[in-house]
Each structure stands twice: as structure tokens, then as C-alpha cells.
Structure 1
Amino acid sequence: MNHPLNRPDMRLERLLGGADLAALRQRLRRHFERQGEPGAEQALHLGKLEAVEREALALLTGRPVSTARSARIDLARIDAALQTAGLCHSLRDALERLDGPIENRTAMRMAAEQAWTTMVQRTGRDARLQAWLQTSAAGTLLKRLARRDATLADALLTRADAVMRRLPALGLTRAQLAAQVLGSAHALDAGQPVASIVLAAFRHGQASRDAGCALSDGDTPVVEERARDVWARAGVLVNELARPALALNLPARGTPLLTQGEPGYLSLRRLLREPPTWAVQGQAVYVCENPNVLAIAADRLGACCAPFVCTDGMPAAAQRTLLDQLSGAGARLHYHGDFDWPGLQIANHVVRRWQAQPWQMRAQDYEAAVPTVPHKQRDLAAFEVTALWDPQLAPAMYRHGLAIAEEAVADFLIEDLRLT
């Protein structure tokens, strides 16, 4: 049998119920939802009260109706009055009877934070994924993808972990990887939550390696890889026939990949599915920014040209994969690019990522090239990029105000490429 205080009472509905007092009840409920936080005291200040709300508070407190728009109420006094009247146990009890249970937001938030911490610290995941989870960026991304739900976040991490354990792959397409591991060919498409987590973990790993081997460069920003390039680094093919890598005279064991003396293209598909065994241990491999320079070298030197690779601007997936392979095979990379701000940014990336040596890219090389180029108006504004390998290069370029295309110094480069 229910205690009389637990039974509904129409007097309570008349006292504090109804639509006119809904806003007041919500304000009172928020006080109890905050119980446990600093400031959640037994005295409550309410402002901007309507006439009907002032009347209800007067009935609750047993005081005359005030004309003031604000009031300070004693919750203990109201609780006692409600109990004496036999309406309910307390103001909180009254609010719950009228509008349902009041949640303890503080306790809920603490429980959610503990659940999140426990989920993130769970062991046994792929080491690359776990390393990323220790970063602040991981928490921000994961909470957004999982809508701050620790259970959903844990499920996403479980799926991402399954993908990471299959990587690196050997020329597997992204759709095939997604279908085999996650059961849907589109589960790793751009924008999908698991894809975002996997890419973030791989980017973090690469950024950590770059930071470990970078030259002292002040605040020079690290270029973030595009998603297709990150997948390629993991051995996964996305649009594998786009923008192949251009190369000349790269020695490899087994069946020749390129015709000696002739420029040739290597697709990302070929580089990942049938990785060549490059015979470049301890050998100099030259790298340029512009295809025209490689074409000039082929025309003038042919088979007598040193191994040569073109990044075709900022290296994309195929170019990055090729440079990764050559560097991994022990090649000593030497890089040259345009003397302009984008050119320095690309050069910084190549030097940092593959520990390439600058090739005729120092301030003295620029100074020597200035008198050889046709006179033109200044086309370099205030310098924006500092060369990692030579802090004097950017100031020299700004002082002359001249951008020098790589093709303009091809004659200087050719002599270094000639095999003796």
C-alpha cells in the first residue's frame, strides 16, 4: 500500500502545475539538476518573475504576494511547508510528480567522462591507433564523430582497429578493404567516420616521424597529406591511375620498368601492387619539381643521365610512394625546384619528409642564377617561406624580388646529372 505522501494530489497541480507555471518549474528543475556543483545551495535567487509566478511562490512560501520582479526563496522552508500540508516530501518531489524525474546532470556528466576515459585507455588496440588516441586532436574528432557517446566511439574505434590491423596493404583498393573488413564497400569512403579515424591515425604517425627527422626550421608548417596520399602510404589504392610518377633511368632488379634513356611513367597501381626492387643502395637519385627539366635531361643525356625523378609540383600519391620506396631502398635523394615561395614550400616538404639534400638550391646558387635570367619586374612579395636548409635563401630572393623557374637553370643542373 502506498504512503499517502506518494499519491498524486490535485492541490499540488493547482499550486504549481499548469502551462502558466511551466517556465518557473523548468527554472526550479535546473537548480536540482545542478545539485553537486558549486553554488547549488539551499537558497535560490529567481529574477524576471511574472505575476502568476510571484503568486505561486507566495503560496509556496506562505508569504504575501510581492510586486518585485525577483525573489530569494528558502528551499528548506518550502520543503517543510509542502510536507506539513501533506502534498509531497519536498519541492524536488513536487517537481518530479508534476513533470517527471529530475536527472542529476553533474553525476551524469561525471559518469560520461569516466566512461570516455575508460574507453580511450582500453588496451589491445593497434599501436598506431592507440598513439593517436593520446592526442588532444583525437578527443575532439572522436567526440564529434560519436556525438560524445562513449559507446558509439568505442564501436567506431573497434572498426578502425580492424582496418588498421590490415595495413599496410599491398595494392588493395579502398572499396575492397572496406568490404572485406567492415562489410560495406563504401564504409571507408571520404567523410565516413571510420575512414576519418584511420586517416587521422596515419597522419599523426607521419607527423611524428617528420618531427623526429626535420631540420631546425622555426615555425615552417608541415604540409598535410591529402586523403588519397595517406591511403597510398598505407598501400591502399584510391584512383590509382591518376597523376603517375615521371622518372628516368631508375635502376631496378628483374624486368626493367623503364626504357633506358627515355622518360617513363609509373602508376600508383603498379608501384603498390608490384613494388619494384630498386637497385639504388647508396646511390644518388636526383629529384626535380618540373617535368620539363626531366625532359631536357633525357634529350641531352639520354642513358648517360643519373637516376632522375620528377615530383610534378607538390608530390601526390604516386610520387610520394616512389620516393618512399627509393628512400627505403637506400637512395641518397637530391632535390631542386623553382626559386619562388611555392617552390620553397615543396622543397621544405621533400627535405623534411625524405631527408633529401638540397641540390643547387642555396642562396649562393640563386645569386649566381639572377644575372642569367632575362630582366623582368619584381614578382616576389615579402617572403613567406624560410628554406629549412639555408636561412639566407629567402632573404636573398626577396632582396632581388625575382622568381626563377627551374627550367631557367637547367644548364647548371645538367652537369650534375651527367654520368662519368
Structure 2
Amino acid sequence: MSVSLDEVDAVLRRSGSAPDGLDDVTRLLIGTVPVRATEAAAWTAAFGPLDKLVARRPMLATWRAWLDSTGLVRRLASDPEIASALITAAVRVLAELPLKGIALGRLAAETTGDAHGLDDGRPLATIVLSAARVLRGSPPSGDGTAGERRTSWAAVGVHRDELSSSVLCLGLPGGADTVTGRILALAKEAGEPSVLTLRQLSTARLGVGTRVVSVCENPIVLASAADELGPDCPPLVCVNGQPSAAVWRLLDLLAEEGAGFRYHGDFDWGGVRIGNTLRDRISWEPWRFDASSYITTTTTGGPLTGRPADATWDPELRPALERRGVRVEEELVLPALLEDLR
């Protein structure tokens, strides 16, 4: 029978019986093995750039620990020399993130010299994407779906292409001097929602100026506002879950024009995390989205499940959610939100 040393190392680290891994166990049991010691030194040197990166960006410390506990780099790279090249490239990419909007192929070309260097399945993409998840406040492993990968890239300002990423909005006045501005003006006049792609937002006159833009999590809020308020609806943007690259681009453009923001989302742990993600990028005020609003809401959904998270805009929201233990989706408070918009 034979076993993989890397797998043994990962099991020892995960179990807690040997946090420093197989090399440490070997030294304890039989003393230093010269060949293994030399190889260990080479692996330590290969991981050096990661340690320097984490020193500059402490929020990646959990990602760095996860890499050790899973042995991911050792599985992707067969020896320290290959690992060193992989880690160096990953650090070079991560040094650029987050960005305000760049195509994945362009990022790969500019940082690695290979436009396909960050394609799905490439070792470098696997390493960088796991860090991007941590930067967005999620576990580094992800769920393996294409949608999750796209969302994680978008959270650090990287889009797969300019057409697949879109954002839903309503009531943006637009303008006459750009195509996108004219589209928005026509939609505003008709009281109809607009779906804008990232490409359409490369140059756009939004016409909002310094007004407050209401931001919601779910499309039902925007659709209901279109039904009930039509052309009279003030500027409203829907993030539709974790923000896409197009959502980020639109919010950035609005902020550059001087707009302010208020945000409402679902009262559950996913909603809190989306709020935190937005808060990291733009400044917004709670729109019926704080502890007092949650406590006074009489309508409730199902039980609150999932991993708890602190709300960066209201330290009292997490304790309130944990005490009450029920989730409240936006659909359940639609009348109040529509009245605010009215």
C-alpha cells in the first residue's frame, strides 16, 4: 500500500494532532531527515511571497491558513519550483485586486502574459479565485458553480465579459448625449425598468446628480415600483443578490456624479453579507434596514438559518436577528418600501 505524503500532511493539519504537518511529526518521531529537510526549506521559500502579501493585507490571513490546511498549492504544484512560480503569479494578480472593472482575459494578459491564464480550471485561477472569495467575505472554497465563480470575480471588479453582466434599474433620468443616457430617458418617461449591460455602462449619462438613489436587493421591489409608481418612481437600483460587475460600475458612476445611497435588503444572514459587501465599496444609509426596523416588523418569513454575520452599519442587528430567529424578506415589507419611494 502507498499513500500520498501531501494527503497525510493535510490530514494531520486538519485533525489538529499536528498543526505544523508531516515534517514536524517526522522530526518528533525519528529526527530530521536531510532530504525532507531540504525539500521543506524549498517549500517554505516558495510560500514566502504569500506571507508577505498577508502581512500587507491581513484580511487574507484566513485564506492563507486555508491553503495550508487543505494542501491546495501542493496538490496543484508537483514540486517547490512549480509552486514558487504559481504563488508568485498569484501574488502579482492579487496585488491588483480589487479593481473598478476589468475583463478577466485582460487582467490575465496584463499580469501573467497569457490571456487565458485565469481561465476556469487553471491552477492560477483556482488560487486567485479562492482569495477573491475571502475578499468578498465568503469562504474560500466556493460551491463549484459557474454563477458563484462569476459573482466572486465581480466582487473584486473582474467580469467574464461585457455582455453577460447586467444591472436592473428604474427611474434614472438619463440624458441626451449618450446612447445609454437616451435609453434611460425613454425608460424613465415610460415608467419602465431598464436592464443595462456592463458594456452599455462604459460611457453613460445617468442624470441623477446629487439625488439619493434607493438600492434594493430583490427584483420584486423594482418591478412593484414600476407597476405602482411608473414614471414617478425616483432613482432605484437592484443589486439582485451579490453585486455583479455591472452593478458595481453603475453604483460607481452614480457616486462619481455625487449621488447618495440608501439600501434595503433581506433580513437574513445572506442579506447582511450583501449589505457588508456594498458598505465596503460605497457609503450608504440604512433604508428600513437596521435593528429597530427588524424588531418592529410584524410580518415574518421562515426560520433564520445559516452562518451569522455582523452588520457593519448597525452592531445591534446581528443580536436582534439571533434573538428573534426569523428572516424577513423584502417582499414582506413591500408596502412600506413603496410608500417611501412614493
If the length of structure 1 is used for normalisation, what is the TM-score?
0.54
**Cα-to-partner distance string for 1:335-376 (whole Å, 9 max, x where unaligned):** 223345654554454456645332113454345542xx6xxx
2:326 corresponds to 1:411: no
Check the 8 A contact 1:363/1:393 in 2, yes or no: yes
3-state SS of 2:169 partner: strand
Mark the CA change 1:341 to 1:297 in structure 2 (over 3 Å): closer, same or farther.
same
Map 1:279-290 → 2, pairs under 5 A = 283-290=211-218
User: 2-side partners of 1:406 and 1:360: how far apart?
Assistant: 10
User: 1-side partners of 2:28 and 2:265: how far apart?
Assistant: 61
For residue 14 of structure 1, what is the aligned residue in structure 2? Answer: none
Q: 1:247 offset after TM fit, Å?
A: 0.8
User: 2-side partners of 1:201 and 1:349: how far apart?
Assistant: 15
For residue 8 of structure 2, what is the aligned residue in structure 1? Answer: none
Q: 1:246 offset after TM fit, Å?
A: 0.4
2:39 corresponds to 1:117: no
How many residues align? The count is 293
If the length of structure 2 is used for normalisation, what is the TM-score?
0.64
Aligned-pair RMSD on alpha carbons? 4.4
Mark the CA change 1:293 to 1:181 in structure 2 (over 3 Å): closer, same or farther.
closer
Between 310-319 and 156-165, the greater mean CA deviation after superposition:
156-165
Alignment gaps of 5+ in structure 2: 1-25, 143-147
Q: Which amino acid aligns with 2:172?
A: L
Q: 1:394 offset after TM fit, Å?
A: 1.9
2:58 corresponds to 1:136: no
3-state SS of 2:303 partner: coil
3-state SS of 2:243 partner: coil
For residue 34 of structure 2, what is the aligned residue in structure 1? Answer: 107
Mark the CA change 1:342 to 1:165 in structure 2 (over 3 Å): closer, same or farther.
closer
For residue 155 of structure 1, what is the aligned residue in structure 2? Answer: 85
Q: 1:235 offset after TM fit, Å?
A: 5.0
Map 1:229-308 → 2, pairs under 5 A = 229-233=151-155, 235-238=157-160, 240-242=162-164, 244-250=166-172, 254-255=177-178, 256=181, 258=184, 259-260=187-188, 261-271=191-201, 274=202, 276=204, 283-308=211-236
User: 2-side partners of 1:336 and 1:316: how far apart?
Assistant: 17
Q: Which amino acid aligns with 1:416?
A: D
2:138 corresponds to 1:223: yes
Alignment gaps of 5+ in structure 1: 1-35, 42-104, 208-221
Mark the CA change 1:277 to 1:364 in structure 2 (over 3 Å): closer, same or farther.
same
Q: 108, 113, 123: which one pairs with 1:193?
A: 123
Check the 8 A contact 1:280/1:329 in 2, yes or no: yes
Check the 8 A contact 1:142/1:153 in 2, yes or no: yes
Q: Which amino acid aligns with 2:341?
A: L
Check the 8 A contact 1:145/1:193 in 2, yes or no: yes
For residue 83 of structure 1, what is the aligned residue in structure 2? Answer: none
User: 1-side partners of 2:210 and 2:216: how far apart?
Assistant: 19
Q: 1:267 offset after TM fit, Å?
A: 1.5
For residue 27 of structure 1, what is the aligned residue in structure 2? Answer: none
3-state SS of 1:313 partner: coil
Mark the CA change 1:366 to 1:179 in structure 2 (over 3 Å): closer, same or farther.
closer
**Cα-to-partner distance string for 1:217-255 (whole Å, 9 max, x where unaligned):** xxxxx3358432343355543154336210123366752
**Cα-to-partner distance string for 1:92-123 (whole Å, 9 max, x where unaligned):** xxxxxxxxxxxxx7222332233333344469
Q: Which amino acid aligns with 2:76?
A: L
Q: Which amino acid aligns with 1:231?
A: W
For residue 174 of structure 1, what is the aligned residue in structure 2? Answer: 104
Q: 1:194 offset after TM fit, Å?
A: 1.4
User: 2-side partners of 1:247 and 1:270: how far apart?
Assistant: 13
Q: Which amino acid aligns with 1:223?
A: S
User: 1-side partners of 2:130 and 2:322: how far apart?
Assistant: 35
User: 1-side partners of 2:259 and 2:54: how far apart?
Assistant: 27
For residue 145 of structure 1, what is the aligned residue in structure 2? Answer: 76
User: 2-side partners of 1:165 and 1:383: how far apart?
Assistant: 35
User: 2-side partners of 1:164 and 1:352: how far apart?
Assistant: 17
3-state SS of 1:241 partner: coil
Check the 8 A contact 1:383/1:395 in 2, yes or no: no
User: 2-side partners of 1:158 and 1:394: how far apart?
Assistant: 42
For residue 213 of structure 1, what is the aligned residue in structure 2? Answer: none
User: 2-side partners of 1:315 and 1:202: how far apart?
Assistant: 14
Q: 1:177 offset after TM fit, Å?
A: 5.2
Mark the CA change 1:345 to 1:160 in structure 2 (over 3 Å): closer, same or farther.
closer
User: 2-side partners of 1:171 and 1:38: how far apart?
Assistant: 50
Q: Which amino acid aligns with 1:249?
A: G
Mark the CA change 1:383 to 1:190 in structure 2 (over 3 Å): closer, same or farther.
closer
3-state SS of 1:191 partner: coil
Q: Which amino acid aligns with 2:128?
A: V
